Amino acid sequence: MNTRTDHLVNGVDLSIDFAGIKSPNPFWLASAPPTDKAYNVERAYRAGWGGVVWKTLGEDPPAVNVSSRYSAHFGKNREVLGFNNIELITDRSLAINLEEIARVKRDWPDRALIVSIMVPCEEAAWQHILPLVEATGADGIELNLGCPHGMPERGMGAAVGQNPDLIEQVARWCKQYYSKPVIVKLTPNITDIRVAAQAALRGGADAVSLINTINSITSIDLDNMVAKPTVGQQSTHGGYCGSAVKPIALNMVAEIARDAPTRDLPISGIGGISDWRDAAEFVALGAGSVQVCTAAMLHGFRIVEEMKDGLSRWMAEQGYRSLDEFSGKAVANTTDWKHLDMNFKTIAHIDQDKCISCGRCYIACEDTSHQSIAQLIDASGARRYEVIEEECVGCNLCQITCPVQDCISMLPQQTGKPYMSWDQDPRNPFRQAS
């Protein structure tokens, strides 16, 4: 059996070297149920995934899971916007996992195999497990310092990840007892992600990955007055993931990528990545690899084909021959509010040929924004919507509410004025004299 997967897709080299871990493409499966055992992982490799992060190993005896584990935040057509789980780390013994990891790595040498680990925050525990993991031949480890449900009650997971000192300490132990790359997985359930990333860096981590899941309750069963997923007559908060968390993840990735201390720290992007475009966006903000879980759980491993194909075609169109050529390209354009150009002005324009006259832009602007769209009704009753340009502040609301793609565009205006930040703006009462 040819177990290799091609680096070159549509003439583009998708291979990466992430903090020393080589992978034929940037698409990894995140530590989660899809990477729980050899059977799944081999199916994933066969489907073309570049790497997997093996579901988190722990000390024996293994964790025990409850029945009923997932719930979702649905859109109106049952599309899953967000996904929630209360599953713990692996519920299989350490020995079985280690044996399978060693075998899978041997059989699939060209793929990245990273092992996720969570043990108590004691040096001895890490000192014990790390050599066992090293012996499997896996390419690296990812520290699960982010699991938000169940494990923190036992002093692990997010209980560690929410304490910068502990992050640094654990990272340091790992670098001490393990020779290959160490990735620290960060929890978003904190106020400033940069503090956690800096702690990982201080501890010697080779990379960070983020985000882990967000504390969540997806919905309440109003008939039985209990949250979902239900276990008997009760429930508990879980960890939220899926498309809905992508904007949160992108921001946290950007925060780390543009923070001076961690600017060069490799980032594995995680959070709601469902298609090639999502992946490209994470890479544009500096991610060197991307991890996927929910999309695979909803559609199966086959989605990686579309991701590779879409990403490589887009790259070829843009003239990018490898991921390095556009990695981090959007970081410099992501800045603090105070650096935005106060003299920039954009206003909405409605393409009358595309407009279907639904009136959504009108009522949104009229009720909740700046009353800058006019509703004109002619003698035949035909409706026409026009932007009142002098009133438009360029907020984008009309464009967002418009159901027709490319019907409303935001047109930058020639103001003839130079760039002026808030710091330079005479309207700023705290303006710094330049």
Partner 1 sequence: MKHDLTHLPRAGDTVAGRPGTSPEALEANFSDLHPPLNPRQAMIESQRCLYCYDAPCVEACPSDIDIPRFIRQISEDNIDGAAHTILEQNILGGSCARVCPTEILCEQRCVRNHDAECQPVLIGLLQRYATDHARFDGHPFQRAADSGYQVAVVGAGPAGLACAHRLAMLGHRVTVFEAEAKPGGLNEYGIARYKMTDDFARKEVEFLLEIGGIEMRYGQRLGHDLSLAQLHSDYDSVFLGLGLGASRQLGLTGEDAPGLAAAVDYIKILRQSDDLAQLPLARRCVVIGAGNTAIDMATQMARLGADEVTLVYRRGVEAMSATGHEQEIAKANGVRMLTWATPREVLLDAEGRVSGMRFERTHATEGQLQGTGETFEVEADAIFKAIGQGFDGDSLSDPAASELARDGERIRVDDAFRTSLPRVYAGGDCVAPGQDLTVQAVQHGKLAAHAIHQDLLAKQEAA
- 379-398 residues in contact with partner 1 (CB under 8 A) are 381, 383
Q: Which is nearer to partner 1, 302 or 354 (CB)?
A: 354
Which of 348, 405, 365, 357 minimizes the C-alpha distance to 385?
A: 357
3-state secondary structure of 71: strand
Please pick, from the candidates 96, 231, 356, 411, the single residue that binds partner 1 as defined by CB under 8 A. 356
Q: Which is nearer to partner 1, 151 or 355 (CB)?
A: 355
| Residue whose entry in the numeric block shows the structure tokens 């909405």 | 348
The answer to whether the CB of 209 falls within 8 A of the CB of 186 is: yes
Exposed (0-12), middle (13-18) or buried (19+): which is 247, by Cβ within 10 Å?
A: exposed
3-state secondary structure of 261: helix
Interface with partner 1, residue 350, by CB under 8 A: no
**Count of residues engaged in binding partner 1, rule: CB under 8 A:** 15
Exposed (0-12), middle (13-18) or buried (19+): which is 419, by Cβ within 10 Å?
A: exposed
Query: Which of the following is catalytic: 121, 147, 395, 402?
Result: 147
Residue type, 74: F
Please pick, from the candidates 346, 375, 399, 409, the single residue that binds partner 1 as defined by CB under 8 A. 375
The residue range among 32-40, 85-93, 137-145, 359-367 that interacts with partner 1, by the rule CB under 8 A, is: 359-367
Interface with partner 1, residue 349, by CB under 8 A: no
- 44-83 residues in contact with partner 1 (CB under 8 A) are 76-77
The answer to whether the CB of 54 falls within 8 A of the CB of 211 is: no
- The radius of gyration of the chain from alpha carbons, rounded to an integer in Å, stands at 24
* Cβ at position 397, least distance to partner 1 in Å: 14
Q: Which is nearer to partner 1, 71 or 291 (CB)?
A: 71
Please pick, from the candidates 220, 340, 404, 411, the single residue that binds partner 1 as defined by CB under 8 A. 404
- 3-state helix, strand and coil shares in percent for the chain, rounded to the nearest 5: 30, 20, 45
Interface with partner 1, residue 103, by CB under 8 A: no
Residue type, 361: C
Tokens of 344: 């920039």
- Tell me, yes or no, if 147 is annotated catalytic: yes
Pairing of strands 112-117, 140-144: parallel
* Nearest-angstrom CA–CA distance, 38 and 392: 58
* Cβ at position 362, least distance to partner 1 in Å: 6
Q: Which is nearer to partner 1, 237 or 383 (CB)?
A: 383
Q: Which is nearer to partner 1, 60 or 367 (CB)?
A: 367
Interface with partner 1, residue 357, by CB under 8 A: yes
Q: Which is nearer to partner 1, 76 or 427 (CB)?
A: 76
The site for partner 1 (CB under 8 A) is made up of: 76-77, 354, 356-360, 362-363, 375, 381, 383, 403-404
Active site residues: 147
